[in-house]
């Protein structure tokens, strides 16, 4: 491994841990009653976020689902501002108006998460259309779960993206569950990639828990999109180690299933590979510790930040301040 | 001064705004061919198919697409062929478009105009004739505009495109063939401001969209009967221009609100409630409403005529309220 590749993988390893620790912290804070609402964790799915976002520039547009913390951090949004939003602080990305399911960091190209499954797939296509219309080389990426394929707008958007040859990457994180129901129970179509064929959208189903695979395949797909080849659908098979939401007891899953998932943990797998490549275990532990300290310090700063001023509750309903006082 | 139909003057407004601002793009079902009513006919020849985009019949996706494009720097003007089909786009308009600025804490703007066409005329029947504006005035973050004439449509559409907020622009199909002069010294209206369409002193008739024309016809008949009716054209249903309403009510002390939609929970109900709480002392009697009986729009011309509120309904209500006929 060259020094450059080594540093590259160390950086990715750090990104995986950042997300894992961040979400563990969200889980802890939620248990302590510090997180309003119901956050959804992507624990176990981190390799998809890190492998895809490694290829994105700040001006590329990212949309994500209700399970989006990892994607947003992987694209480089500020850890403290992201956490501050999830716990509802004035310093949060959205000044406490969005929360976990509506994270937006426009300056970093994160146009946002959504609380409606499949609700922003077409918005992502709109960002791709805008880039195309403005002659920019930016692309749009949208992450969604396999559950989103049950929505009509998923199929409408694939059709439009193919028809207009839009620069968009559809990334399906197929974790086998739509909320609490397994894929087998909600569709006869085993692989989401099968939906790409009728629209002539190139596609691949890959092991989404192997960061090296995700990184390579996302890189190739994105290169094609930037070269003007139109949309691509990347289906990443992965596992949701946490429940649907924080607090989900997951009684619908067997002990065997849970144990098999731990075996496939994307962080452990990259770690094994790096150790086999000759990287020192102590070095990897140091990266994990650094990431832990970084996230916990950011979390502490977020928790110390002021809460939003109730007097500002009518701000930003409209762009024009003159419209803020509308009562009907 | 030139005479224009509603359809042609809308095209002129779109043409001028596209020429004025390269961020303005049109999209919708059949828009390159002119749309179902010919509003956009010919614009594809002038601006190309990259700025006048035909879309599949996918209201949910094209509304999302227009919303996403507005968030990314374009100023899309989306056509939803009939407001009845806007229900297919409602998830996006309600959960995404209207809320994006607020949910993001003011990080984004969403300059989007959704043109759509509503109202009953010519036997379009239950799924192509509805007046669904009430759904949309219930959504914080949207602006809802409903022009009452060709010149009004021209000015309000241009203002809506320049406004920088998500605007639902509701055209009434009955007005499409109406003709009107566009004055040479015409100035664009301000979104959110109502207008006095006819001055009067005995009663205020508040209306919007095609019902303004009906109210003006009624006011003419009332004048012949010695009753002076003031007609207010709301222009914008969200926000409501309560200041202009208050001015008129303070002069006439009687209010009739006329709409084509069914009355339950409607625009007229909202205005009546607000007049009741804000202007109660100005009133000489209860605020009255004219609207559609609570039924779907029927097909046969006799049935359509029987159901739709019209000039006679306004006259009857005014006579009841003013106390003489």
Could you tell me the domains of chain A? 3-307 (3.40.50.970)
Is B125 near chain A, with CB under 8 Å? Answer: no
Does the pLDDT of residue B130 top 80, yes or no?
A: yes
- Provide the percentage of residues in chain B whose pLDDT is more than 90: 97
Q: What is the pLDDT of residue A247?
A: 74
Q: How many whole angstroms separate alpha carbon B288 and alpha carbon B309? A: 14
Average pLDDT, chain A: 93
Residue A259: per-residue pLDDT:
77
- What pLDDT score does A153 carry? 98
Confidence of residue A320 (pLDDT cuts 50, 70, 90): confident
Distance from CA of A81 to the nearest CA of B (A): 13
Contacts of B177 (CB under 8 A, 6+ apart): B5, B6, B7
pLDDT of residue A324: 66
- Of A154, A109, A110, A139, whose CA–CA distance to A226 is shortest? A139
| Cα–Cα distance measured from residue A258 to residue A43, given in angstroms and rounded to the nearest whole number | 13
pLDDT tens per residue across span A130-147: 999 999 999 999 999 999
Give pLDDT tens digits for B22-45.
999 999 999 999 988 899 999 999
Task: Using alpha carbons, list the distances in angstroms from residue A249 to A36, A69, B119.
Answer: 19, 21, 51
pLDDT given at position A327: 59
Q: What is the pTM of this model?
A: 0.96
Whole-angstrom distance, CA of residue A77 vs CA of residue A143: 16
pLDDT the model gives residue A118: 96
- Judged against a pLDDT cut of 90, whether residue A325 lies above it is answered with no
Residue B324 has pLDDT above 60, yes or no: no
Overall fold of domain B2-182: Rossmann fold (3.40.50)
- Residue B53 pLDDT greater than 80, yes or no: yes
* B325: confidence class by pLDDT, cuts 50, 70, 90: very low
**Residue pair B62/B27 in contact by the 8 Å Cβ criterion:** yes
Is there a contact between A285 and A293 (Cβ–Cβ < 8 Å)? no
Class of domain B195-322: alpha beta
Which residue from B182, B179, B181, B223 is spatially nearest to B203, judged by alpha carbons? B223
Q: Residue B67: which of A116, A126, A160 has the nearest Cβ?
A: A126
What are the Cα distances from residue A278, in Å, to A133, B129, B181? 48, 72, 82
- Please tell me if residue A124 touches chain B, with a CB cutoff of 8 Å: yes
Q: Give span(s): CATH 3.40.50.970, chain B.
A: 2-182
CATH 3.40.50.920 residue spans of chain B = 195-322
Task: Judge: A122–B68 Cβ closer than 8 Å, yes or no.
Answer: yes
Distance CA A16, CA A26 (A): 15
B239 cis-preceded (ω within 30 degrees of 0): yes
**Parallel, antiparallel, or unpaired: how do β-strands B2-5 and B52-54 relate?**
unpaired
What is the rounded average pLDDT for all residues in chain B?
Answer: 96
- Surface of A (35-94) touching B: CB under 8 A: 61, 63, 92-94
d(C-alpha B83, C-alpha B88), whole Å: 10
Tell me how far apart the terminal alpha carbons of chain B are, to the nearest angstrom: 39
* Residue B288 Cα to chain centre, angstroms: 21
Q: Residue A119: how many CB atoms within 10 A of its CB? A: 23
Rounded to 5 degrees, what are φ and ψ at A3? -55, -40
Q: List, for residues A231-268, the tens digit of each pLDDT value.
A: 999 999 998 887 767 777 777 777 777 777 778 899 99
Model pLDDT, residue A149: 94
The distance of B263 to chain A (nearest Cα, Å) reads 17
Which tokens sit at B285?
């009697």
| Residue A169: per-residue pLDDT | 98
């Amino acid at each position: 491994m060259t020094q450059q590749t080594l540093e590259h993988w160390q950086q990715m390893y750090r990104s995986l841990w950042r997300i894992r620790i961040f979400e563990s912290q969200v889980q802890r804070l939620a248990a302590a009653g510090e997180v309003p609402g119901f956050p959804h964790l992507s624990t176990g799915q981190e390799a998809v976020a890190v492998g895809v976002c490694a290829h994105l520039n700040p001006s590329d547009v990212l949309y994500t689902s209700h399970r989006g913390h990892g994607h947003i951090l992987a694209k480089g949004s500020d850890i403290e501002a992201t956490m501050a939003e999830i716990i509802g602080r004035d310093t949060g990305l959205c000044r406490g108006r969005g929360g976990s399911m509506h994270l937006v960091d426009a300056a970093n190209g994160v146009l946002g998460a959504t609380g409606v499954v499949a609700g922003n797939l077409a918005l992502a296509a709109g960002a791709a259309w805008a880039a195309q219309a403005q002659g920019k080389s930016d692309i749009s990426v949208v992450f969604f779960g396999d559950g989103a394929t049950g929505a009509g707008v998923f199929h409408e958007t694939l059709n439009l993206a193919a028809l207009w040859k839009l620069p968009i990457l559809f990334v399906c994180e197929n974790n086998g569950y739509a909320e609490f129901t397994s894929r087998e129970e909600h569709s006869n179509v085993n692989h989401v990639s099968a939906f790409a064929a009728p629209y002539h959208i190139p596609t691949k189903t890959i092991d989404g828990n192997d960061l090296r695979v995700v990184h390579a395949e996302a890189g190739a797909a994105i290169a094609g999109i930037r070269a003007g080849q139109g949309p691509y659908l990347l289906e990443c098979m992965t596992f949701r180690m946490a429940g649907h939401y924080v607090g989900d007891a997951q009684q619908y899953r067997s002990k065997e299933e849970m144990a098999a998932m731990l075996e496939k943990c994307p962080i452990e797998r990259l770690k094994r590979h790096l150790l086999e490549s000759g990287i020192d275990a102590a070095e990897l532990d140091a990266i994990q510790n650094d990431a832990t300290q970084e996230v916990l310090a950011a979390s502490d700063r977020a928790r110390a930040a002021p809460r939003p001023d109730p007097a500002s509750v009518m701000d930003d309903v409209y762009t024009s301040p003159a419209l803020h006082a509308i009562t009907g | 001064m030139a005479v224009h139909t509603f359809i042609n003057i809308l095209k002129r407004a779109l043409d001028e705004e596209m020429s004025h601002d390269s961020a303005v793009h049109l999209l919708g079902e059949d828009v390159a061919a002119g749309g179902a009513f010919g509003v956009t006919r010919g614009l594809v020849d002038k601006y190309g198919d990259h700025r006048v985009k035909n879309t599949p019949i996918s209201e949910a996706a094209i509304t999302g697409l227009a919303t996403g494009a507005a968030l990314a720097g374009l100023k899309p003007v989306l056509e939803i062929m009939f407001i009845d089909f806007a229900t297919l786009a409602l998830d996006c308009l309600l959960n995404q478009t209207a809320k994006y600025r607020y949910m993001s804490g003011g990080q984004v703007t969403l300059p989007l105009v959704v043109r759509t066409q509503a109202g009953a005329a010519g036997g379009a029947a239950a799924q192509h004739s509805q007046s669904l504006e009430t759904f949309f005035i219930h959504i914080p973050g949207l602006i809802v505009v409903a022009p009452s004439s060709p010149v009004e449509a021209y000015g309000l559409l241009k203002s809506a495109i320049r406004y920088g907020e998500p605007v639902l622009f509701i055209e009434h199909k009955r007005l499409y063939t109406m003709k009107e002069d566009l004055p040479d010294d015409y100035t664009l209206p301000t979104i959110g401001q109502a207008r006095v369409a006819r001055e009067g002193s005995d009663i205020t008739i508040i209306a919007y969209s095609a019902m303004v024309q009906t109210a003006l016809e009624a006011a003419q008949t009332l004048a012949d009967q010695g009753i002076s009716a003031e007609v207010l054209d709301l222009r914008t249903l969200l926000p409501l221009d309560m200041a202009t309403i208050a001015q008129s009510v303070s002069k006439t002390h009687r209010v009739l609100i006329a709409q084509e939609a069914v009355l339950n929970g409607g625009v007229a109900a909202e205005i009546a409630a607000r007049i009741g709480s804000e202007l109660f002392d100005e009133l000489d009697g209860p605020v009255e409403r004219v609207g559609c009986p609570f039924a779907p729009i029927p097909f046969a011309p006799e049935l359509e005529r029987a159901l739709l509120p019209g000039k006679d309904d306004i006259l009857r209500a005014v006579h009841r309220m003013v106390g003489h006929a």
